[in-house]
Chain A
Amino acid sequence: GAGVSQTPSNKVTEKGKYVELRCDPISGHTALYWYRQSLGQGPEFLIYFQGTGAADDSGLPNDRFFAVRPEGSVSTLKIQRTERGDSAVYLCASRLDMNTEAFFGQGTRLTVV
């Protein structure tokens, strides 16, 4: 596709449920990032993939959060036992390499009720 695509655009879930958020990066981009953004704040780093492997997952807040990128393209961010504090916009970005621009998707707004 022309840009980074994230689905769904909005997700409302009940506390304690499991959710999956999907990111389709720009074709050919080997680097993929997940960020989380709360209202009025800058994006907060969660995890970085280089190809299929998670090169840096130090931003994941706890073991309820997990992300995969099995074929080096689409990535899924998985959140178990959701809590109200997980409510935020989850942003995905991709770039060709560390010397090029990062492009962001429109985000998934997650609301945990």
Chain B
Amino acid sequence: KQEVTQIPAALSVPEGENLVLNCSFTDSAIYNLQWFRQDPGKGLTSLLLIQSSQREQTSGRLNASLDKSSGRSTLYIAASQPGDSATYLCAVDTSGSRLTFGEGTQLTVNP
């Protein structure tokens, strides 16, 4: 059974700082991994999708990496802004039929 862990559970940084969010998973036989952000009381917004054959994906100030063999992914956020404050969720697709989510990292960027 796939298990996904996200560390840290919460993170508070000053504006402008670069930061890294971590995601680890127990079963390395994955199809892909997706990062989402969730604002309070809202649904999930897709940020990046990394296929199992890829090492990283970039979108603007976001860069996600994948090391399938070690069961790890990181989400790097450059030059953080207060608008980046949200909960970031990592989800792994192992079977092609479902995404297994971590508990999320709650990020606060202070002006």
Are B43's CB and A45's CB within 8 A? no
B13-21, B67-75, B91-99 - the one binding chain A: B91-99
| CB of B42 within 8 Å of the partner chain | yes
- The residues of B with any CB-CB pair to A shorter than 8 Å are 4, 31-32, 34, 36, 42-46, 49, 51, 89, 91, 93, 95-104
B98: chain A residues at CB < 8 Å are 33, 45, 48, 56, 59
Output the least CB separation between A75 and chain B (Å): 15
Count contacts between A and B, CB distance < 8 Å: 62
Alpha-carbon gap, A104 to B53, bound state (A): 24
Please give the number of chain A residues whose Cβ is less than 8 angstroms from any Cβ of chain B in the complex. 27
A60: chain B residues at CB < 8 Å are none
Alpha-carbon gap, A103 to B102, bound state (A): 17
Are A41's CB and B103's CB within 8 A? yes
Are B104's CB and A42's CB within 8 A? yes
Closest 3 CB pairs of A and B: A42-B101, A104-B44, A98-B96
Counting chain A CB atoms within 10 Å of each CB, which of B89, B101, B102, B103 scores highest? B101
